[in-house]
């Protein structure tokens, strides 16, 4: 069923009708506009006393929903920072060990990778060789952009900010 679209003002009115309490409707409008009604819905879902009519429990505050949202956001940032640290450490260790054992070009040594073949664009290759080909294609595309900018605009080597 295609539900009608509500303005943010209508969304706030609907939440109030269902029992949510707002200390500052202007702040709520800003939050819904920038975070989104349906993203915030997950943070107020358990605050309902009726999941069919979507009526809220007594003393349900929009401020509590926003506090939950920002707590979750901070927690995600902490977790992703920790995951990134572990990922980088594992990658660095793996690269170090493979480089020491097989040399600096270990990533070109196909015997270190899965050897099953599959067709991509009519070409039979291993997953490893397809990946290397796609990466080198990306490098070639970036090179072409830089070379085009060099020839077309300044005859000087473009800096990174030219492409952002």
The tens digit of pLDDT for each residue in 85-95 reads 999 999 899 89
b/e code 33-71 from CB counts within 10 Å (16+ = b): eebeeeebeebbeebbeeeeebebeeebebeebbebbee
pTM of the model: 0.60
What tens digit of pLDDT does each residue of 51-90 get? Answer: 999 999 999 999 999 999 999 999 999 999 999 999 999 9
The two three-digit tokens of residue 137, written as one number: 């294609």
Distances (CA, A) of 31 to 10, 37, 77, 124, 160: 14, 9, 19, 52, 34
What stretches in the chain show pLDDT beneath 70?
114-118, 124-164
């Amino acid at each position: 069923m295609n539900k009608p679209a509500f303005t943010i003002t209508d969304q706030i009115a609907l939440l109030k009708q269902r029992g949510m309490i707002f200390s500052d409707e202007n702040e709520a409008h800003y939050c819904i506009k920038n975070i989104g009604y349906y993203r915030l819905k997950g943070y107020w879902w358990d605050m309902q006393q009726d999941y069919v009519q979507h009526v809220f429990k007594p003393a349900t505050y929009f401020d509590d929903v926003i506090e939950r949202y920002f707590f979750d956001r901070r927690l995600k940032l902490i977790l992703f920072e920790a995951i990134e640290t572990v990922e980088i450490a594992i990658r660095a260790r793996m690269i170090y060990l493979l480089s020491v054992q097989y040399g600096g070009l270990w990533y070109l040594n196909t015997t270190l990778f899965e050897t099953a073949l599959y067709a991509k664009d009519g070409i039979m290759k291993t997953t490893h060789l397809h990946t290397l080909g796609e990466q080198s294609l990306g490098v070639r595309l970036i090179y072409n952009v830089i070379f085009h900018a060099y020839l077309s605009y300044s005859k000087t080597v473009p800096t990174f900010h030219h492409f952002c």
